Amino acid sequence: MKDNGIIEITFHGRGGQTAITASQLLAECAFEKGFKDTIAIPIIGAERRGAPIQAFTKISENKMIRTYDSVNNPDYILIFDTSLLEIPNIKDSIKEGVTLIVDSVNPLNKAKLPKNIKIYIVDATGICIKRGFMHSSGPILNIPMLGAFGKVTGYYDLKTMEKVFKKEFGEERLEKNMNVAQDAYESVKEV
Amino acid sequence: MIKPELKDFLQSEETKIIKGNVAAAYAAKSARVQVISAYPITPQTTVVEKLSEFVDGGLMPGTQYIKVESEHSVLASLVGASMAGTRTFTATSGQGLFYMYEMVHWTAGVRLPIVMAIASRGPAPPWNIWADFTDVISCRDTGWMSAFCANHQEIYDEILMSYKVCEDYDVLLPKFVAYGGFILSHTSKPVIIEDQDKVDNFLPPLPDEKGWPHIWIDPNRPLMHGNLIMPSGFYSEFRMIIHDALIKSQEKIKAVAKEFEKTFGRSYGNGLIQEYKMDDADVAMLNYGDLALQMEEAVDAVRDEGYKVGMVKLRHFRPFPVKDIVEISKKVKVLGVMDRATAFGSQTGGPVSSEVKTALHGTKGTAMVFPMINGIGGREVTLEQQKEQLKILIKINETGELPEDLLYGTLWHGKLEVD
C-alpha cells in the first residue's frame, strides 16, 4: 500500500488470457467488499491473441482515486503466463517488496528475481482444464487468478466474488465460475 | 473538489463500476433518447454497443436504433430524426467526427438539440486512437457547444445536463460531450446511475407531436427544408442569431449546473469552469478533461511542499467563458494553460491557450499566461509530470524567467529523447 492508502495491482497476461477482464472484476470485487474507490486501467493497443497484455487496478480503502496514470510500483503483480517473466520489461518491473501471484505448477526460479518479494503460485490453467472452463482460445484464467488474489490478500472473499459474478454473468453461469474460483482460492500457496 | 465525493457513493444504491463509454450509454438511456444512430469507431465503439444491448434487451422501449453505413449518415439520419421532433443521441471519435463534418455544420445551422458523446482521439496520420482533444476542438466554429469531462461520473452527468441546455428554446443548439479516448472511455470507475423518476423530473419533457418550435416534419404543416438562399436573404442574420444563442447559452449552462447540484448533489462549479484551491493561489494551471482531475492530486502534493498553487478546470470550450477566465486570471500572477490538443501554426500556444490569451487581451491586471501542451495522441501524463508543470509556474513567478526549450513560446511536453 502506498502512503496515500491506494493499493496498486498490475496484470501481465497474453491476448486471450482474459487479464483485462480480470482487472475490471478485481475492481468490482474490492468495491463490493467495501473499498471506497477503484479504477481499472487496461492498456489497449492492437490486440492479438498471444501478444503480451498489461492492465492495472487501483483500489483505495478511504480516499478518492484521482489519478489515471499507469502503475509503476505495484504492490501486487498477477502473472497469467510464466513465459512472460522472460520479457525484460516485465522482469525488470518486479521490484523489492512486491507480491507475485503466478499461474504456475512449479515454483519459480528465485535466483532470477529480486530478494524480499513474496511469491504465490496457483495452477490456474490446470484448474480451468479440469473444470472445462475454456473459451475459444484456451482457459479462462481471470476467475481462478481472482480467487487466488482474494485468498492471498484477504481484500475480498468467495462470498464477494459470488455476488459480483452473479451481477456480471447471471445465475446460469454462477456455479461454473464459483467452482473455478474456489479451487484456486483453496489451492494457492506461497513458495 | 471534483465530484463525486466519497459520501455520494455511500448514499447511492445504484453505483456501478463501468467504463466511461458505458456511462455515456447509461446517460442516453436515463435521458430516454428516442432515436440513436450508430456507426462504431475505436475508442467510441462500446457506447453504441451498450446501447444496442439496451435496445435489444427491451430496456429502452420506444427507442429507434438505426445502423447506418458511415458517420456522415449517422448525423444525417439524426438531423432528420431531430427535425421530426425527437430526442436523439449518438457517439463518435476522431476520424468519425471528421467524416461527419458537413453534417456537423448542418446540425447547428438547423438549430437541432442533438447531443453527441465524443471519445476523443488523436487525428491521423499516423493512426492514433488515444486521448487528444484536437478532434472536438477542430469543430470550434460549427456552432456546437462543447464540454470536457474529467471523470466517469461527469460523462453521465454532463450528458443529462446537456439535453436540458440544448433543448432550451433560447438555445436550441447541439452539443459535444468529450472525454479522453481510453483514459476515460475504457477505464472503469464507480458511477452513480440516477433514479429514473429523478432524471425525468430534471429533464424537460420529451418533445410532443408538434416537435420543436422552429422546425418540423409534418404533412399537415408543410415546410420547405434546406433550400438555397440568395446573398440578400436572411443568411447573415441567421448566422448572427446562432452566434447570439451560443453566447447566451452560458447563462443557461450556469443555471442548469446549479439545478443539477440541487437535484443530484454533485457540483460542477458554475458549469463553465470549476476552481480548485484558487482562493490564495499565486500561480495556477488551467486544465481540461481527465488531466484536470489528476491535477487536483498534483496541486495537493505541491501545496504540501509549501507552495500556493491552484487549478482551474475548463468545462466548456464553446461557449468560451470569457468573463470567468478574466476573473480567475486576476486572482493569480501566472496562469499556465495546458492543452491536450494542437493548433498548428498558432504562436499563442494550443487552442485553449489562444482562447485564453484572446479573452484577456486589453484587460489590465491579469496573470501572465504561459501556454503548455502535453499528452498529445494519448502520451501518458503522470502525476509526477504534473507536479513538475506546477513547479515551472512557481519558478516563472519567482524568477520571471521562462524555460529555455520553448517552441514558439509554448512548452511542449513529451518530446522524444533522441540519442
* Residue B171 within any structural domain of the chain: yes
Only one residue has cell 447570439, namely B244
Query: Do both B252 and B313 map to the same domain?
Result: no
Q: Give the residue among A165, A183, A181 at the shortest CA–CA distance from A173.
A: A165
pLDDT at residue number B11 = 46
ipTM of the complex: 0.93
Query: Do both B10 and B131 map to the same domain?
Result: yes
The domain that contains B23 carries what CATH number? 3.40.50.970
B383 CB neighbours in chain A (<8 A) are: 67, 69
Query: Do both B242 and B370 map to the same domain?
Result: no
Cβ of residue B382 closer than 8 Å to a chain A Cβ = yes
Cβ of residue A2 closer than 8 Å to a chain B Cβ = no
A46 CB neighbours in chain B (<8 A) are: none
Query: Do both B278 and B254 map to the same domain?
Result: no
Count how many domains chain B has.
2
Query: Do both B243 and B291 map to the same domain?
Result: no
pLDDT at residue number B13 = 61
**DSSP β-bridge partners for residue A39:** A58
In percent, the amount of chain B with pLDDT more than 70 equals 95
* Phi/psi of residue B343, nearest 5 degrees: -135, 80
The domain that contains B329 carries what CATH number? 3.40.50.920
Optimal mutation site among A11, A53, A58, A66, interface B, most CBs of chain B within 10 A = A66
> Which of the 8 DSSP states describes residue A95?
-
Q: What is the pLDDT of residues A7-50, one digit of tens each?
A: 999 999 999 999 999 999 999 999 999 999 999 999 877 678 88
Query: Do both B96 and B214 map to the same domain?
Result: yes
Q: Give the residue among B140, B158, B76 at the shortest CA–CA distance from B112.
A: B76
User: Of B264, B287, B307, which residue constitutes the final position of a domain?
Assistant: B264
User: Per-residue confidence of chain B (419 residues) as pLDDT tens digits?
Assistant: 555 555 555 445 689 999 999 999 999 999 999 999 999 999 999 999 999 999 999 999 999 999 999 999 999 999 999 999 999 999 999 999 999 999 999 999 999 999 999 999 999 999 999 999 999 999 999 999 999 999 999 999 999 999 999 999 999 999 999 999 999 999 999 999 999 999 999 999 999 999 999 999 999 999 988 889 999 999 999 999 999 999 999 999 999 999 999 999 999 999 999 999 999 999 999 999 999 999 999 999 999 999 999 999 999 999 999 999 999 999 999 999 999 999 999 999 999 999 999 999 999 999 999 999 999 999 999 999 999 999 999 999 999 999 988 888 899 986 655 54
pLDDT at residue number B417 = 57
User: Distance from A128 to chain B by nearest Cα, in Å?
Assistant: 26
Which one of 3.40.50.10140, 3.30.300.30, 3.40.630.10, 3.40.920.10 gives the CATH number of domain A6-190? 3.40.920.10
Cβ of residue A73 closer than 8 Å to a chain B Cβ = no
B380 CB neighbours in chain A (<8 A) are: 69-70
Optimal mutation site among A9, A68, A69, interface B, most CBs of chain B within 10 A = A68
Do residue B290 and residue A68 have CB atoms under 8 angstroms apart?
yes
What is the four-CA torsion angle of B74, B80, B81, B84, rounded to 10 degrees?
A: 170
Q: Give the residue among B346, B153, B170, B141 at the shortest CA–CA distance from B245.
A: B170
SS (H, E, C) chain B: CCCCCHHHHHHCCCEEEEEHHHHHHHHHHHCCCCEEEECCCCCCHHHHHHHHHHHHCCCCCCCEEEECCCHHHHHHHHHHHHHCCCCEEEEECHHHHHHCHHHHHHHHHCCCCCEEEEEECCCCCCCCCCCCCHHHHCCHHHCCEEEECCCHHHHHHHHHHHHHHHCCCCCCCCEEEEEECCCCCCCEEEEECCCHHHHHHHCCCCCCCCCCCCCCCCCCCCCCCCCCCCCCCCHHHHHHHHHHHHHHHHHHHHHHHHHHHHHHCCCCCCCCEEEECCCCCCEEEEECCHHHHHHHHHHHHHHHCCCCEEEEEECEEECCCHHHHHHHHHHCCEEEEEECCCCCCCCCCCHHHHHHHHHHCCCCCCCEEEEEECCHHHCCCCHHHHHHHHHHHHHHHHHCCCCCCCECCEEECCCCCCC
Query: Do both B360 and B286 map to the same domain?
Result: yes
Residue A99 to residue A116: CA distance in whole angstroms: 9
Query: Do both B69 and B193 map to the same domain?
Result: yes
Query: Do both B252 and B331 map to the same domain?
Result: no
Q: What is the pLDDT of residues B274-287, one digit of tens each?
A: 999 999 999 999 99
Query: Do both B183 and B257 map to the same domain?
Result: yes
Do residue A44 and residue B6 have CB atoms under 8 angstroms apart?
no
Which set of grid coordinates corresponds to residue B150? 474529467
Q: Which range marks the domain in which residue B256 is found?
A: 6-264
User: Distance from B165 to chain A by nearest Cα, in Å?
Assistant: 28
* Residue B417 within any structural domain of the chain: no
Query: Do both B220 and B100 map to the same domain?
Result: yes
Q: Give the residue among B222, B243, B386 at the shortest CA–CA distance from B301.
A: B386
Query: Do both B254 and B277 map to the same domain?
Result: no
Percent composition of chain A: helix, strand, coil (DSSP 3-state, to 5)? 40, 25, 35
CA A60 to chain CA centroid, Å, is 17
Residue B157 one-letter amino acid? D
Q: What is the pLDDT of residues B330-376, one digit of tens each?
A: 999 999 999 999 999 999 999 999 999 999 999 999 999 999 999 99
